Amino acid sequence: MKRILALATGLFLTVMAHAQTAELPETTIKDVNNGKKVAFNQTFEKGKVTVVSFWATWCVPCKKEIKNIREKLTDWKKEADFNYMTVSIDESRAEGLVRSYAKSQGWDFPYYIDANSDLKRSLNFQNVPFTIIVDKTGKVVFMHTGYEEGGEEEVFAKVKELSAK
């Protein structure tokens, strides 16, 4: 049991060390609102922390996480200066479904689609929900897979810490 714990801890620290220095990939994604393709690393505002939620239309925990974040965004933005966006990993044929879902939920933040999973491969993650935080210098400083009710508070705590720097 101690070996498994040590191995898990080592793996976690390795992933976090990589996350601390990870450059944003130039992988192309599509803006679902206007249909234009854009490089992922060009979707970030320089000098501003950004939270990115990766999701899919079939992923119930993803939708719950985004809904909970959206409900808190107005209050959170009073405490920290940051941006929020989502990237769907649905296939291109589901783009209309992504668009209609986002509109039905009143999303007023950018939402993109990674229809060929190129960005997913670039960031080397397997499952959604998957959340990253990009710091003011454009580096990935936090990665998290999965969602449990209230998990968005951990993300926001990290955002506040990074925004204050």
Q: Of 39, 65, 37, nearest to 127 (Cα)?
A: 65
Q: Cα-Cα-Cα-Cα dihedral of 118, 97, 159, 36, to 10°? A: 60
pLDDT per position as a tens digit, 87-127: 999 999 999 999 999 999 999 999 999 999 999 999 999 99
Has residue 13 got a pLDDT over 50?
no
At residue 1, the pLDDT reads: 52
CATH number of 22-164: 3.40.30.10
pTM of the full structure: 0.86
At residue 24, the pLDDT reads: 93
Parallel/antiparallel/unpaired status of strands 49-55 and 139-145: unpaired
pLDDT per position as a tens digit, 22-58: 789 999 999 999 999 999 999 999 999 999 999 999 9
Report the alpha-carbon distance of residue 128 to residue 146 in Å, rounded: 6
pLDDT band at 5 (very low <50, low <70, confident <90, very high): very low
